[in-house]
């Protein structure tokens, strides 16, 4: 492929260039930073995140543009997705500092691996070609494998990393196999050209259908949808809470936009085929996720199974029209806010020698610190979809989109989703009951942390944007309009 400077359009990748430059600066600075001065790496990493945000805002465009010979796209959905990812990672760094210090993992590797993963997220979000999408996915996945095993003295973390690595490698192979079939059927790996070939019916229909099947399986693995969910609870439980918080938040926006790129941009004329598969995945994820979460005593595993059910809701959004894609993106942003706040409370309540990871560890939290109990209550009520919190409006947006779908069976799934939400509310309310009505078994004072201010703002946004969701919905709506 012959490139010239006009085709490259490097300015479109300004956020990624800023992020990579800052990443290398952090990597070099950390080499000469002692453990006592590791806070330099911490604050420098947060500065890199904010610089990436400014880099994205500096090249903000209302019209889609392409780079690297149409292999890279910058449009409304990519710009919003990157902003959410950068800001979410900056918030995570704030939450993780005291937790990592107590666990002996307050090291530069945590920050550099997270930023390498974020580069992969950015590439996935802006991919307009299967090759760039795959490169971004692998960069994200390889970084996560190493982050999970960051606690070298933990056999549980090593086991979780190995499980994720083996299953992730299998999913990557399945994705590559599907991509090869799509290429054989259409003669292209560019999403726009694949869609154009399908429209002109210049494709091998059966080979393309088989390729779609394999690609959907790989996408389901990244979402953690049933039956490709085996890695989720083990990784959430085995990984350090700071790493589990990252896995359970930022990659979700990448998975949502990644799915949009492949399915809506590239395989739009095979929509009926992949929508049927998405419906089956969503139904199974809502059922298994909610029922399994009810039986968990480990709150990190409970969050893992609840994540599976939430991903089912996002998959339901892709069954509707443009309104459904808008609702899915809004749900992904909402879930990132909820997940960051939920894991933030767990990190805040953990201390040296004690890991807050069981539901029983939250017993009597209201007696020990009423404010932290309130923050956790807001998170749990939002995840359960109780009004007027943001999680309720996210689920309502999905249900509203399903009611406008062209197929009656899609509309019927809205009733099923409501029933599953009612079942799911049980295990969230059980934790609330433990916090407010059970006697505290641990009377150790909860240390005050500066991160509590950021955590408070994070949780309160779930209430504010639940009562006044119009602003976030407008951002999402504008992003979608600037994409199509």
Q: Rounded CA gap, 49 and 326, in Å? A: 26
Q: Rounded CA gap, 322 and 76, in Å? A: 14
Rounded to an integer, the average pLDDT of 55-76 is 86
Q: What is the pLDDT of residue 305?
A: 95
Beta bridge partner(s), residue 73: 66
Residue 281 pLDDT greater than 70, yes or no: yes
Confidence of residue 1 (pLDDT cuts 50, 70, 90): very low
Q: What is the pLDDT of residues 176-185, one digit of tens each?
A: 999 999 999 9
Q: Rounded CA gap, 361 and 349, in Å? A: 9
Question: Which of 61-70, 167-176, 470-479 is the least confident region?
Answer: 61-70
Residues in contact with 441: Cβ distance below 8 Å, sequence separation at least 6, in sequence order: 360, 363, 364
Structural domain that includes position 408: 5-481
How many other C-beta atoms lie within 10 A of the C-beta of residue 69?
Answer: 17
Picking from 258, 269, 163, 166, the residue whose alpha carbon sits closest to that of residue 216 is 258
Question: Which of 167-171, 291-295, 478-482 is the least confident region?
Answer: 478-482
Confidence of residue 129 (pLDDT cuts 50, 70, 90): very high
Does the model's pTM come out above 0.85? yes
Q: What is the pLDDT of residues 67-93, one digit of tens each?
A: 888 889 988 899 999 999 999 999 999
| 271-294 and 205-223 helices, crossing angle to 10° | 30
Residue 258 pLDDT greater than 60, yes or no: yes
Q: What is the pLDDT of residue 198?
A: 86
Mean pLDDT, the chain, integer: 90
Rounded to an integer, the average pLDDT of 31-35 is 85
Q: What is the pLDDT of residue 6?
A: 53
Rounded to an integer, the average pLDDT of 467-478 is 88
Confidence of residue 7 (pLDDT cuts 50, 70, 90): low
Q: Rounded CA gap, 340 and 245, in Å? A: 6
- Read out DSSP for 361-397? GGTTHHHH-HHHHHHHHHHHHHHHT-TTSHHHHHHHH
Residues in contact with 90: Cβ distance below 8 Å, sequence separation at least 6, in sequence order: 46, 49, 50, 53
Rounded to an integer, the average pLDDT of 33-60 is 90
Domains contained in the chain, number: 1
358 three-state secondary structure: strand
Q: What is the pLDDT of residues 391-433, one digit of tens each?
A: 999 999 999 999 887 777 788 899 999 999 999 999 999 999 9
Share of the chain above pLDDT 90, in %: 62
Residue 5 pLDDT greater than 60, yes or no: no
| 261 DSSP 8-state letter | I
Give CA separation, 160 vs 102, 146, 244, 337, 456, in Å. Answer: 21, 11, 11, 25, 31
314 three-state secondary structure: helix
Contact 189, 182 (CB under 8 A): yes
Q: Rounded CA gap, 158 and 165, in Å? A: 10
160 three-state secondary structure: helix
204 three-state secondary structure: coil
């Amino acid at each position: 492929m012959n490139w010239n400077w006009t085709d490259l359009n490097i300015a479109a990748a300004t956020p990624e260039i800023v992020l990579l430059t800052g990443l290398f600066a952090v990597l070099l600075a950390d080499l000469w930073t002692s453990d006592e001065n590791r806070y330099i790496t911490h604050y420098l990493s947060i500065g890199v995140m904010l610089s990436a945000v400014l880099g994205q805002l500096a090249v903000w465009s209302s019209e889609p543009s392409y780079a690297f010979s149409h292999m890279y796209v910058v449009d409304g959905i990519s710009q919003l997705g990157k902003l959410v990812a950068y800001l979410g990672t900056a918030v995570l760094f704030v939450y993780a500092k005291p937790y990592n210090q107590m666990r002996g993992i307050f090291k530069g590797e945590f920050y550099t691996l997270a930023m390498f993963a974020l580069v992969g997220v950015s590439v996935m979000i802006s991919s307009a070609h299967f090759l760039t999408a795959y490169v971004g996915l692998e960069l994200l996945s390889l970084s996560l494998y190493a982050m999970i095993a960051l606690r070298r003295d933990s056999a549980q973390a090593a086991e979780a990393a190995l499980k994720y690595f083996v299953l992730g490698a299998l999913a990557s192979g399945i994705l590559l196999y599907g991509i090869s079939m799509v290429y054989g059927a259409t003669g292209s790996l560019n999403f726009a050209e694949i869609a154009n070939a399908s429209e002109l019916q210049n494709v091998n229909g059966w080979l393309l259908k088989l390729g779609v099947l394999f690609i959907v399986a790989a996408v389901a693995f990244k979402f953690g949808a049933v039956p490709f969910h085996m890695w989720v609870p083990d990784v959430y439980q085995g990984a350090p809470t700071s790493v589990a918080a990252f896995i359970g938040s930022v990659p979700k926006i990448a998975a949502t936009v990644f799915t949009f790129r492949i399915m809506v941009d590239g395989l739009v004329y095979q929509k009926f085929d992949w929508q049927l598969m998405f419906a089956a995945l969503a139904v199974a994820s809502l059922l298994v996720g909610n029922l399994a979460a009810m039986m968990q005593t480990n709150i990190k595993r409970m969050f893992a199974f609840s994540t599976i059910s939430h991903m089912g809701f996002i998959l339901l959004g892709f069954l509707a029209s443009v309104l459904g894609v808008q609702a899915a993106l809004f749900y992904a942003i909402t879930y990132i806010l909820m997940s960051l706040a939920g894991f933030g409370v767990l990190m805040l309540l953990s201390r040296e020698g004690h890991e807050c990871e069981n539901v029983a560890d939250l017993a009597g939290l209201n007696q020990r610190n009423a404010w932290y109990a309130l923050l956790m209550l807001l998170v749990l009520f939002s995840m359960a979809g109780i009004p007027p919190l943001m999680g309720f409006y996210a689920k309502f947006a999905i249900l509203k989109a399903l009611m406008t779908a062209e197929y009656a069976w899609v509309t019927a799934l809205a009733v099923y989703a409501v029933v599953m939400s009612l079942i799911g509310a049980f295990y969230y309310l059980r934790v609330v009951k433990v916090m407010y009505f059970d006697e505290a078994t641990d009377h150790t004072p909860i240390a005050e942390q500066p991160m509590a201010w950021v955590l408070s703002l994070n949780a309160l946004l779930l209430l504010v944007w639940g009562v006044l969701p119009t602003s976030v919905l407008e951002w999402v709506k504008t992003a979608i309009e600037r994409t199509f």
